[in-house]
Structures are given as structure tokens and as C-alpha cells.
A and B are shown apart, each in its own frame.
Chain A
Amino acid sequence: MKPRKRSGDIVAGTVLWAMAATIVQQSTTWPVAGDVAGNPTVFPRALAAIMFACGFALIVFRRPTPEGAAGTDEHRPVLTLAAVGATALLALSLEPFGLVPAGIVFLLVAQRIAGAPWRSALPFAVGTPILMWLGFVTALSVPLPRGEIWLRLFS
């Protein structure tokens, strides 16, 4: 099978170019040193030059499909995108609502996205954050989000 250009390689090449351009632009704002030994731009600019070259190689040259890359019918990236969205909402709600309420809602939603039935999802979603709180906060004294809303309501 002939190697073909992959959109992932083109995107990666473009990202490399963007990162390299950013490094070069930012390096113009750094303190200038009198000699190359102390010059802080040597390493970053050398890195940027190599990134430009690699970006070019990724975009221009064709390569065979790599091992381990997704692409079969069994892969459903829409599930992952939904999980990313749920995880982002979890990140937003951790501090305001705390580990236990945010964790319960997240686990319920994420397990349902994954296709777990209600009868196993519900007890696991409720029990796990509570056990985590008891284990990490109560037993090991690890500070975890308590929920600013509840602290304000009950203080």
C-alpha cells in the first residue's frame, strides 16, 4: 500500500512551525548577552531551527501509516470528545462545588457516556467520591476541594 499524506502530520508540522516562530519572536525580547557562552537565545533558536526543518519534513514527505494510530471501525472518537467535555466541566466545578458533588455528577455522566448501565453507574458514582474523601482527606490529610459554595453557605 502506497504511503499517503496524513492530516495528522500536516497539523503537527504546522504546530511545529507555529511553536518555532513563537520561540524566535519571543527570544528577541530577552536580555542580550555579550558573548555566545552566556547568550540565552542560542539553545531556543537552535531548537526553533530544528523544529522548522522537522515541520517541513512532516508536511512535505509521505510516510506509511504509523503503528498504533487510530483509524478502525471500532474507534469512536465522539465518545472521547464527550469525555473531554465532561472532564472540562469537572475542572470548572471542582472548586465551587467540591470533590464529592462534582465527582458524583462527573462519574455518572462519564460512565453513561461510556455506556455503563444505570444499575452499576449510580452506586459507583455515589460511593467512589465519598470513599476518596474518607481515604485521602480524612485518613491521609490530603487537601482536596471542599466547595466554596458550601463553605460560604454554612460558615
Chain B
Amino acid sequence: MFDAQLLLAGFATIASPQVFPFLIAGSVMGIIVGAIPGLTATMAIALLIPFTFSMQPIAGIVMLLAIYASGIYAGGIASILIRTPGTPAAAATLLDGYPMAQKGEAGRAIGIATISSGIGGLFSACALTLFAPMLATVALRFSAPEYFSLALFGLVVTMSLSGSSLLRGFVSVLIGLAVGLIGIDPIGGFQRLNFGYSELSGGFNFVAVMIGLFSLAEAFRQMEQIATLPPVPPAVRNVLPRFMEIAGMWKVYLRSCIYGLIVGITPGVGAETSSFLAYAETKRTSKEPSRFGKGAPEGVAAAQTAENGSTGGDLLPMLTLGVPGDAATAVLMGALTIHNLQPGPMLFQERPDLVHQIFAGMISANITFVILGLVGARLFAKVVQIDRRVLVPLVCLLSLIGSYAIDNNPMDVWVTLVFGVIGWLMQRNGFPVSPVVLAVILGGMMESNLRRTLVMGLGSPEIILHRPIAMFILALAAFSLFAVIRRNRKEARNRKSGAGHET
């Protein structure tokens, strides 16, 4: 269970002059970044990690958590106003949010979206606070076979849910695993695949790789379509919804919170899955499903609640097991590492104060963006119109400066540039980029724990068969892979029969 006294002390730390301004700054930056189509919270976190190095660890972490929570929420603003999701997770909000804006209810839609995100985010932050210490206690019993199974499960789910092609997702995972091989052998300690370059003796700097793949690659991708200017958004008025309207949707909120949390906990699955799932389920169980898609407030509420409802769940496996839940938490993991904090059960043993500060930070971030979002709705609505011809070059500059700031090493700048080009080319040819980053993190965990497992089993992997938790996780991985193969085959059959009907 969590420690209530430590949690209260955590809130006191968050409210201190050394941390509170960074909470506000992070929330504002997250809303701005999330509202601009093409920029994501993941990108912003990756860019800002190096700059948090000079801050107190908790101030930097709280700022990044605030960007994460508010960035996920703010994607809905662009969905509602200009029919373009600010973040991939906000695509479901568009379905009813934009029709509401077309009916002159843009302000009401944004108000419902803001409060719904706050409810989902607070629910998942409280769930994180309750369950993370319990899971960390269980994880103390994990050994090499369990960690190997977890890493494999994370990779399988990541590759299978990252796009329409399983093969391309798998290729991205393989590239990430190969990149992770460069550097020092985890058991033997000798150099491998550095080709005599001392700069590669420790492998590629993970943060530089992340900035390249998530920020610079996206900036290069946007350059291709830079001539398209965003449309003019409608006026935003009467943002604060009536209390009875919000209270009347309590079933929607409860269902969406639970969906968000469960999806968030599953490694490799992001907020976009939870938002669509919650939306579809809300529509299915509604007494008037025909209202959905035409401006039903319940549609906006379901999507936004589930989006932010997944944030706590995404953090849960990252904090307790060191297995990131999605790309954003993979990047947050980099932030913890850069401050010499290794996520996992030992963090709960060695630094319970910091862990509870993180819980308090997450809860505070969800309250802060609701207040800022409601008060500043009209101002943030103008953000969607920022000229991308000015913004995209800025992202390129920040990417290189950010990677330089990690270690003042010019090599990191070139690593970011090379991976930026690789990420752009991959996305251009339909290869997802998120699995590469997750594979770089999980590959090292998988290899070292596989070899430890073989040592434990005296050269035989059969020891895994005698570990029920490891077997359960491997069974989950096999099941999810089977489910995706089945789904892809069904979609391929539907495409063929649809093409046959057309001819």
C-alpha cells in the first residue's frame, strides 16, 4: 500500500517554490504542444529531458509528467476546432467534438473535454498511487526468467499493435534490438559492434536516439507537407459546462476510466487504443447510438476520459517493473535514468519519498491542466493556428541543442541527426518508429535476463517452464500475437472480398 504521510509530504514538495513553477510551466507547454497538430507530448518530453539535468530531479520529473498529462489532453482541442487531432490519441474526440464545434458549441465541447480528461487522469493517478506499491512488492519476487518474459511480452505487443503490418512492426523491433547490441556486452563486459570507435564504446546515447526518432524525424516528415496551412478555428465561448451535465454522464466516466486504466497497463498499447475502445463501447451501450458522430457530448467525454485514464496505467509497469507502457513512458524512463534513478521495484525500496512525490506530481498535474485549460481555453484555441513553417525549423533546432545538452558531446548531435533521417525514411515507407525505441530499452533487458536464465538453468531454458509467473506472461504474449495475426487475416480477407465486389 502507499504511505499516506509520504504522499502528503510529496504534495508539500510539489507546492514548494522550487517545484511548483515547473509544474505550471510543464502544464502550459504540454497544452500548447498537444494542441498543435504534428507535435506530441512524447516529442516535447524527449526534447526537454536534457534541459532538466540542471534542475532538482523532482522538479524536472514533475515538469515532464505535467507535459505528458496535459499534452495527452490537449490533443482534443485541435480535434474539436479544426478537425485535425493534435495527438494520435485525440482522433476519437474528433468524431463528436468537431460536429459540436460546427453547431456553435466549440466552447462547450472544449469544456467537456477538459473536465473529462481531468476525471480520467485523476482516476488513473489515484490507481497508480494505490497499485504501484503493491505491484512493486510482487515484482521483488521476479527474477531473470520473469524479466525476460516481460521484455518479450512488451516487444510482442508493441510490434503487433503499432500499425497495420505485423511484419513491418517486427522489422522495427529487430532494428531496435540490433541498435541495442552496440556498446558493452551486458555479462562479459567486452566491446562489441563499435568498429574501433571509442565514442561508441558505451553504445548510442539513448536520449539522443529518442530525440532523433521522435522529434527530428517528425519535423522532417512535416517538412514534406509544410505548404498546407491549418484552417481558421471557430470562436470559443461558454467553456464551463453545467454541473448537472457532467454529473449526468457518470456511467460514461466510470466505464471510460476503467477501459483507460486497463489498456494503459498493457505494455505497448497507447492512449489511442483506449480512447477508441471507450468511444465504441459508449456508443454501443447508449440508448440513442444514432446521436454519435453528430455532436454527442458523451462521445467527447468517453474519448477524453479514456485517453487520460490510460496515463497512470502506462506509468505503472514503467515505475514498478522498468518496462515502459508506450513511447511516452519509454521517454520518461530516459528522464529518470538521466537523473540516476532506475525504475523498478528497488526504486520503491530505496527512494519511497521520491516515488510518492511522483504520485503527488501526477495527481497535481491532472488538477493543474483542468484549471489552466478552462481558464485559458480561448488563448489555447489560438495555438492551433501557429504557422508550421516557423515551428518545424524550431523543432529541428531544439532537437540538436537538446541532444548537445545531454553530455556536451558533439557525437550525440550527429546521432540525433542520423536517427532523425532513419526515422523519417522508416515512417515514409510505413515502418513504425515507436517499436525501435522500445526495443532499444527492452532488448538489453531481454538479452541480459535470457543469459542469466540460461546460467540459472545450467544452459537449459527449461527452467522457465517451472516459473508460473514467467509462463503466464509468455502465454499472454503468445495470445496477443495470435489475436493480431487472426485480426490481420480477417482484414485481408475483407479487403479482398471488398475489391472483388467492386470489380
Q: Which residue of A lies closest to B446 (CB)?
A: A43
Question: Which interface residue of A37, A51, A90 has the most chain B CB atoms within 10 A?
Answer: A37
Q: Is the CB of A103 within 8 A of B397?
A: yes
Q: Does B339 contact A (CB under 8 A)?
A: no
Stretch at the interface among B219-227, B250-258, B288-296, B297-305: B219-227
Q: Is the CB of B224 within 8 A of A76?
A: yes
Q: Is the CB of A31 within 8 A of B188?
A: yes
Q: Is the CB of A114 within 8 A of B177?
A: no
Q: Is the CB of B165 within 8 A of A94?
A: no
Contact of A142 among B54, B175, B429 (CB under 8 A): B54
Q: Which residue of A lies closest to B53 (CB)?
A: A142
Q: How far is the CB of B102 from chain A (nearest CB, A)?
A: 24
Q: Is the CB of A63 within 8 A of B165?
A: yes
Q: Is the CB of B227 within 8 A of A76?
A: yes
CB-CB contacts below 8 Å: A12-43 with B: 12, 16, 19, 22-23, 26-27, 30-31, 33, 35-38, 40, 42-43
Q: Does B4 contact A (CB under 8 A)?
A: no
Q: Is the CB of B450 within 8 A of A19?
A: no
Stretch at the interface among B74-82, B115-123, B342-350, B417-425: B417-425
CB-CB contacts below 8 Å: B258-285 with A: none
Contact of A70 among B174, B177, B224 (CB under 8 A): B224
Contact of A68 among B54, B216, B427 (CB under 8 A): B427
Residues of A within 8 A of B400 (CB): 87, 90-91, 94
Q: How far is B163's CA from A63's CA once the two chains are assembled, in angstroms?
A: 14
Residues of A within 8 A of B105 (CB): none
Q: Does B104 contact A (CB under 8 A)?
A: no
Contact of A114 among B55, B216, B223, B404 (CB under 8 A): B223
Contact of A69 among B388, B410, B428 (CB under 8 A): B428
Could you give, for residues 38-64 of chain A, a 1 whenever the CB lies within 8 Å of some chain B CB and a 0 otherwise?
101011100100110010011000011
Q: How far is B400's CA from A99's CA once the two chains are assembled, in angstroms?
A: 10
Q: How far is B428's CA from A16's CA once the two chains are assembled, in angstroms?
A: 17
Q: Which residue of B lies closest to A6 (CB)?
A: B429
Residues of A within 8 A of B219 (CB): 83
Q: Does B459 contact A (CB under 8 A)?
A: yes
Q: Does B330 contact A (CB under 8 A)?
A: no
Assuming the A-B contacts A37-B458, A66-B164, are A110 and B181 also in contact, with contact meaning beta carbons closer than 8 angstroms in the complex?
Answer: no
Residues of A within 8 A of B156 (CB): none
Q: Is the CB of B187 within 8 A of A38?
A: yes
Residues of B within 8 A of A50 (CB): 174
Q: Is the CB of B396 within 8 A of A110?
A: yes
Q: Does B408 contact A (CB under 8 A)?
A: yes
Contact of B387 among A65, A120, A141 (CB under 8 A): A120
Q: Is the CB of B192 within 8 A of A38?
A: no
Q: How far is B226's CA from A76's CA once the two chains are assembled, in angstroms?
A: 9
Q: Which residue of A lies closest to B456 (CB)?
A: A37
Residues of B within 8 A of A77 (CB): 224, 428
Assuming the A-B contacts A47-B181, A54-B167, A79-B226, are A88 and B405 also in contact, with contact meaning beta carbons closer than 8 angstroms in the complex?
Answer: no
Question: Which interface residue of B393, B410, B424, B458 has the most chain A CB atoms within 10 A?
Answer: B393
Q: Which residue of A lies closest to B399 (CB)?
A: A87
Q: How far is the CB of B83 from chain A (nearest CB, A)?
A: 17
Q: Is the CB of A83 within 8 A of B192?
A: no
Q: How far is B398's CA from A136's CA once the two chains are assembled, in angstroms?
A: 11
Q: How far is B394's CA from A128's CA once the two chains are assembled, in angstroms?
A: 8
Residues of A within 8 A of B244 (CB): none
Question: Which interface residue of B224, B454, B455 has the most chain A CB atoms within 10 A?
Answer: B224
Residues of B within 8 A of A88 (CB): 417
Assuming the A-B contacts A90-B400, A142-B405, are A107 and B394 also in contact, with contact meaning beta carbons closer than 8 angstroms in the complex?
Answer: yes
Q: How far is B450's CA from A40's CA once the two chains are assembled, in angstroms?
A: 11
Contact of B397 among A23, A58, A106 (CB under 8 A): A106
Q: Is the CB of A54 within 8 A of B51?
A: no
Given A38-B454, A80-B424, 11 more A-B residue pairs with CB atoms under 8 Å apart are A36-B454, A37-B451, A54-B174, A64-B495, A65-B430, A69-B427, A84-B220, A110-B393, A121-B390, A140-B54, A140-B55
Sample of 26 A–B contacts (CB below 8 Å): A8-B429, A9-B429, A12-B431, A16-B174, A30-B190, A37-B457, A38-B455, A40-B188, A54-B170, A63-B165, A66-B168, A67-B164, A69-B428, A90-B400, A94-B401, A95-B410, A110-B397, A111-B393, A116-B389, A128-B394, A132-B397, A136-B51, A136-B401, A140-B51, A142-B50, A142-B51
**Chain B positions near chain A (C-beta within 8 angstroms):** 50-51, 53-55, 163-165, 167-168, 170-171, 174-175, 177-178, 181, 185, 187-188, 190, 192-193, 216, 219-221, 223-228, 387-390, 392-394, 396-397, 400-401, 404-405, 408, 410, 413-414, 417, 420-421, 424-425, 427-431, 446-447, 450-451, 454-455, 457-459, 495, 499
What 10 A-B pairs come out closest when comparing CB atoms?
Answer: A66-B430, A8-B429, A110-B393, A114-B389, A116-B389, A69-B430, A37-B454, A80-B223, A37-B455, A75-B224
